Chains A and B, each alone.
Chain A
Amino acid sequence: MGARVTTSSLTLLVGLAALSLYALAFGQISLSFGDALSALAGLQGDELVSQIVLDIRLPRVLTAIIAGGALGIAGVLMQALFRNPVADAWSLGLLAGGQLGVALTVTAAAFAGPAAVSFLTVFSGPSITVAAAIGVALTAVFMLALGRKIGAITLLVVGLMIGFTAQGVTSVLLHFAARAGGRVYGGWSDASFAGVEAANLPWLAAPVLGGIALAVFTAKPLTSLLLGETYAKSLGVKVSSLRWLALAATVALVAPVVAFCGPVSFIGLIAPHFARALAGSARILPLLPLAALGGALLALMGDVIVHAPWEQHFLHLNAILAMVGAPIVILILVYSPTVKGWR
């Protein structure tokens, strides 16, 4: 199995590198691969080409990779934690909870006055990440508590309803924030990897790295939890602590993504299934690199399609991801033995 995971990971890595180069070279303005590579190497003589590659496309590509990877790993953790094959940050309402956290912060700042709005604008990186983390964490705790009482399908429906509710409240809050002079994050309700500047990448990456470390730390006991709480306890796993740790990892992975990129849907749901198919196993640790690379690949593919030179209009990232993701969810709901067991 080790060789299979290694081979799959290397294949995904090569695919990700190739797609990244493609994303750096092609977009609304087409460049050659040579131009993109020379700009990356700092050897590009045309300042416009350098600016397009280094200042516009590279931060977007890196954001897609980090965000997709984070959501993929978070999906593995959540599906193990909830023992539910359709659990992920989007389907269980965590992304919407994070959005609501940011919207509440923006609205509060807008009503507090221009000084608060300026503060929030200047410190937008840390402030919106913390706000999103609180929203994601509260929603996750609620869903975890609920998940122990209701079945997988019901939990999914509740998660979607929480998502709709939070999005509705967010929309209303941002409307009033705008009226009060707090138009800080316009267009943020649409998921996009293009809004992150290079200066903000550390604020996106640092919590994600922490989340990955926690995910690796909890991987082995989480695998035992897949076989049931009693089995895990018999192996000496402190289930309650494990849940909190896995939850903390999920929040660290999801919150910066929702804060900087908006509600990116489906990646966290699909990537774990993709990883399991490649690994041929449900063990958590080998799934982490595969889900991260698969999530990153999926996110970057979506971004490449969005930024293709379409005439007149842009496509929306979540529309592309839904076209891929929704049929997979339907297949899981219809055919997954785990879901059948919960009905």
Chain B
Amino acid sequence: MADLTHTQQIERVRTLGIPVVPTFIDAEPHYMGRVEWVELVGLLVGREQEAQNFVFDVEQEVARLKELASAQPRRSLLWAWYEGSGDRWSVTQRNADAALIRDANVELVLGKEDDPRLDTFSRLSTEQLLESATDADCWMIRDPLSTVYTRHDLLERFKAYREDCVFWQPGRRHPDADSWEVWEMGHIRPDWLLSDLIKIAHPELRDGDYRYFQPETWEAGDGGTGHN
């Protein structure tokens, strides 16, 4: 199986006589659409019932978490991770990732209307964040590949920074594993991500046990959360 970024490889594998099924999991406009691809995998490997049970369990857990979040006061979250070069940020604005954030009973700061033709994020500058995002209650400031943003003089303008509600995404529970689990398991376990998101956005529900996210340390390094 492969997605459309592997078009050349798809042809090569087909010439070897191996059946190939292209997937479009990254193009799903909603995060639950990604989970449903598991049913196709189950069908292909003869474990259809198991796959259906898996999808059902995830759906149930997502529904439970959404209900839990909806009972909390609505909060706002800026999801902008630092790309480097001084002033470049990737800001989550729409589609599947935005839907997941909103389902944590969160207003996505700088969010836009969904548009499946566009990426989930746009690239914005520090200036644009200063103009429109300083009132966000919390901030997801870097993903596993981002550098630490060190302009604390500018960060002081942000409520999330002043109130110590800035988080980052180590993206894995096993630091020695050569993979970013958040981009692999995270695709088919939105319930895990939603659980972390709810803890971030709603301090009353924090228990200190995050799966893929954790409070920002402001230190370089890409180790996991330390959980095993």
Contact = CB atoms under 8 A, between A and B. Distances in A.
A190 B154 contact: no
A55 B153 contact: yes
Contacts of B116: none
A56 B87 contact: yes
B221 A114 contact: yes
Interface string B125-166: 111101100000000000001111001011001000000000
Contact of A51 (B128, B154, B219): B154
A313 B123 contact: yes
Contacts of B126: 56
Contacts of A27: 125, 127
Interface stretch (A163-171, A191-199, A288-296, A334-342): A191-199
A186 B151 contact: no
B49 interface: no
B149 to A, nearest CB: 10
Contacts of B157: 48, 51
A28 B124 contact: yes
B87 A312 contact: no
Interface residues of B, number: 29
A127 interface: no
B222 A181 contact: yes
B85 interface: yes
B145 A51 contact: no
A29 B131 contact: yes
Given A28-B124, A184-B147, A121 B84 contact: no
B85 A187 contact: yes
Interface of A: 27-29, 48, 51-52, 55-56, 60, 114, 117-118, 121, 178-179, 181-188, 190, 192-197, 307, 312-314
21 contacts: A27-B127, A48-B130, A48-B157, A55-B154, A60-B87, A181-B221, A181-B222, A183-B221, A184-B147, A185-B84, A185-B147, A187-B84, A187-B88, A187-B147, A190-B84, A190-B85, A193-B86, A194-B88, A312-B123, A313-B122, A314-B88
Given A118-B219, A184-B147, A194-B86, 5 more contacts: A114-B221, A186-B83, A193-B86, A313-B122, A313-B123
